[in-house]
Amino acid sequence: LKKRLLGPCVTFFPQPATLIATRDNDGKVNLMMASWVGIVSKTPPTIAVSLHHNRKTLANILDTGVFSVNTVTSQIAAAADACGLVSGKRADKRLLTGLKIVPGVLEGTPLVAASTLNVECRYQRLVELGDYRLVMGEIAEIHACDRAFDDQGQGNVQVFDPLVYLGGLREYWSLGEKQGDAYRAGLAFLDQEEA
């Protein structure tokens, strides 16, 4: 493919559209839209979230030791985007968007009720990266939308409806079609080699 050079920037996709939910020391909930989020270890299960150092969300995590990562679906896309438009220092974003908060299993962890997946975390450690802080959270519990599972326990992606954020393009997209099963789609190449 013919390419054009974009320079050293952060255009990379797809990344997950998520809401990070935290509380301050007074128990007030803050929601922040974030896409610099992902799994980083299985031993133990760990998720990492990169936050600008002056974020209220970062202060809340360091104060309370817990947070949750909540998937953004098509249904709550506009409400979630609103959480990216105002600072938790200035406005009560829950009032603004009507997103209902429910408790997790860890004391004080707020979860977004409408999200199809809530990843509940204990703060583990922090890595400084320029103006950003990479926050590692040990996954304590994952709450998944019950009706997304069939009788065999297989999850239906379309019910989860996790939105993707396209960095650089600044767009949210839903998923379209399944293109293959991991650890299976490539078997054709191996058979070819062995033939």
Residue choice 29, 101, 106, 142 for contact with a second copy (CB under 8 A): 142
CA distance 55 to 67: 14
108 binds a second copy (CB under 8 A): no
Candidates 24-32, 56-64, 154-162; binding stretch for a second copy (CB under 8 A) = 154-162
Q: Quote the distance between the C-alpha of residue 99 and its chain's center.
A: 16
**Interface with a second copy in residues 25-84 (CB under 8 A):** 33, 36-48, 50, 69, 71, 74, 77-84
Neighbour-count burial of 42, counting CB atoms closer than 10 A to its CB (0-12 exposed, 13-18 middle, 19+ buried): exposed
**Interface with a second copy in residues 121-140 (CB under 8 A):** 127, 129-132, 134, 136, 138-140
187 binds a second copy (CB under 8 A): yes
What is the phi/psi pair of residue 160, to 5°?
A: -60, -40
Residue choice 54, 62, 150, 157 for contact with a second copy (CB under 8 A): 157
Q: Quote the distance between the C-alpha of residue 96 and its chain's center.
A: 21
195 binds a second copy (CB under 8 A): no
Candidates 24-32, 54-62, 90-98; binding stretch for a second copy (CB under 8 A) = 90-98
Neighbour-count burial of 49, counting CB atoms closer than 10 A to its CB (0-12 exposed, 13-18 middle, 19+ buried): buried
22 binds a second copy (CB under 8 A): no
Structure-block tokens of residue 44: 């133990």
What is the phi/psi pair of residue 29, to 5°?
A: -80, 140
Candidates 21-29, 60-68, 112-120; binding stretch for a second copy (CB under 8 A) = 112-120
Contact 37, 48 (CB under 8 A): yes
Closer by beta carbon to a second copy, 25 or else 131 = 131
